[in-house]
Structure 1
Amino acid sequence: MATNLAEKAKTAFLDDDFEGAVEFLSQAIYSNSENADLYADRAQAHIKLGSFTEAVSDANKAIELDPTMVKAYLRKGSACMKLEEYHTAKAALEKGASLSEDDSRFAKLIEECKKHLAEDITDQKAHDGAPPSSETALPSEQIAEADEEIQEEHGTVQQTNAVEPVKPKFRHEFYQKPEEVVVTIFAKGVAPEDAHVEFGEQILSVKINVPSEDAYYFQPRLFQKVVPEKCRYQILSTKIEIRLAKAEAIQWKSLEYSKEATVPQKVIVPSGRCLS
């Protein structure tokens, strides 16, 4: 059944019906959730739809199932670049390049990451001592041609590692201080080895393995950028507490990014809890 659905997804992809491709691949994943190719292909369809956070999630899942899958690293790197997650993108692309030394696309995208990272450093130096910018970063438009290259061997649909939607198992809330956002996931009795937390410049990725059930995933694109190396988390008996170091001391209107969100204000209000 999964094979038949994958073929339908391939046809939909070739017809530029990317929503249809995502639907067919999601059904195929439901039938065969351990197939890394299906996740990698869905990631590619998500990229075409501009759903870059979902594409990163799928690519991560594909890499988890098959750490040697070159196209999964390419998908992750490309999607992270669109999200301006250049550190994360560069790491993924360098890993993919090490697995496929003859693939010139990796070198090209890595150089693009380096250029953006250098620009970020220059901009930071130029703005030292100046008021923090209130503008929300927009996805880069300078790697459009990479989208076309990503189709590479397409004849066949590339799998994405997007996580299959599941009902939330745990409740989360957040509150903020001038310098950080504190996210609490209420998960009782989680063993340290069953919780995995990763920080990107504007992505938080949480996975909790649950015995005899599907894993719990929480992978929001954050309202504003954070400083990954300053972020940290702690696993307690009743919860996981995650502290996100803000890149700018501005008030977040919500935890997750939204195109409809208003421009954040400079004034920090007293800490208050927000439930979701």
Structure 2
Amino acid sequence: MASALETKAKEAYFDDHFELALDLYSQAIGINPKKAELYADRAQANIKLNNLPDAVADANKAIELDPSMSKAYLRKATACMKLEEYQTAKAALETGAALAPEESRFSKLIKECEERIAEENGELPKETLDVVPTNVVPVKDVSSVKDVPDPMTVAAPTKSTYRHEFYQKPEEVVVTIFAKGIPPECVKVDYGEQILSVAVNAPGKDAYHFQPRLFGKIIPDKCRYDVLSTKIEIRLAKAEPIHWTSLEFSMEVAVPQRINVSSGMLISPCP
């Protein structure tokens, strides 16, 4: 049954019926949840539908089930690049390239990631740094972020068994997921440059998946989480000490940035 669904999913994908392919892959995964190939292929369908956090989650699951599957790393990198998470994408590409050195796409995409990372680090021609955007944060605004909970609470997009909220400090964002009696081994948390992925699969409880694209970038290696008796507490290390106006990214909200200029100073907008 799963193989028949997989065949139909592939046919739907090649006919550009991506939503149908996604649904068929999901049905096949429900029957055979341990087959890495299904997650890698569903990741590609999610990429086509621009469901990028879901694509990253599927690629991560494929890698977890089969760490030697090179195309899973390619899927992850493709989604991360679309999310502008070039460091995470580059790491995935380097692993994939080691597994499939004959695949030229890895080296090409690694080069593109390196160029994007250089741009993000301010390694640009001097003339491109003369234009100062107006959406910068004055120094006083950065230092004025208080070490108190943010009043904004975001409702969990899943069942009412779980809910989450967040508050922030200048250097970190603390996400709390309220869930009683969850064994630590049933919780999986992954971090990207601007992605948080949380999965809870505890016996006798509803499954919970939370995969937002975050308001700002984080430092994955410095993030951590603790599973307590009544909650899961996740600490996200900010890449920049900016104030997050929400937990999740929105195209309607411009993220304040520090701008590197030739003098090395932080430029504030004129009053």
TM-score past 0.5 threshold: yes
Code of the aligned partner of 2:202: V
- After TM superposition, give the deviation of residue 191 of structure 1 in Å: 4.3
TM-superposition CA deviations, 1:115-173 (whole Å, max 9, x none): 2112222269x98xx999559xxxxxxxxxxxxxxxxxxxxxxxxxxxxx985753221
Q: Is the 8 A contact 1:192 1:235 kept in 2?
A: yes
Query: For residues 168 and 200 of structure 1, do their structure 2 counterparts lie closer, same or farther at Cα, with a shift above 3 Å needed?
Result: farther
- Count of residue pairs the alignment pairs up: 233
Q: 2:187 aligns with which of 195, 198, 218?
A: 195
Code of the aligned partner of 1:262: V
Structure 2 SS opposite 1:184: strand
Q: Which structure has more RCO (C-alpha within 8 Å, separation ≥ 6)?
A: 1
- After TM superposition, give the deviation of residue 45 of structure 1 in Å: 0.9
CA RMSD of aligned residues (A): 3.0
Name the residue aligned to 1:106.
Answer: 106
Unaligned runs of 5+ in 2: 138-156, 258-271
- Name the stretch that deviates more: 223-232 or 205-214: 205-214
Larger Rg: 2
- After TM superposition, give the deviation of residue 246 of structure 1 in Å: 2.6
Name the residue aligned to 1:15.
Answer: 15
Equivalent positions of 1:180-191 (< 5 A) are 180-191=172-183
- After TM superposition, give the deviation of residue 198 of structure 1 in Å: 2.7
CA distance in 1, matches of 2:87, 2:105: 17
- After TM superposition, give the deviation of residue 208 of structure 1 in Å: 3.5
Say yes or no: does 1:237 pair with 2:229. yes
Equivalent positions of 1:84-233 (< 5 A) are 84-122=84-122, 133=135, 167=159, 169-211=161-203, 216-233=208-225
Q: TM-score scaled by structure 1? A: 0.73
CA distance in 2, matches of 1:206, 1:56: 12
Unaligned runs of 5+ in 1: 136-164, 267-276
Query: For residues 168 and 58 of structure 1, do their structure 2 counterparts lie closer, same or farther at Cα, with a shift above 3 Å needed?
Result: farther
CA distance in 2, matches of 1:64, 1:168: 29
Name the residue aligned to 1:71.
Answer: 71
Structure 1 SS opposite 2:213: coil
Aligned identity (percent) is 62
Q: Is the 8 A contact 1:168 1:216 kept in 2?
A: no
- After TM superposition, give the deviation of residue 234 of structure 1 in Å: 2.8
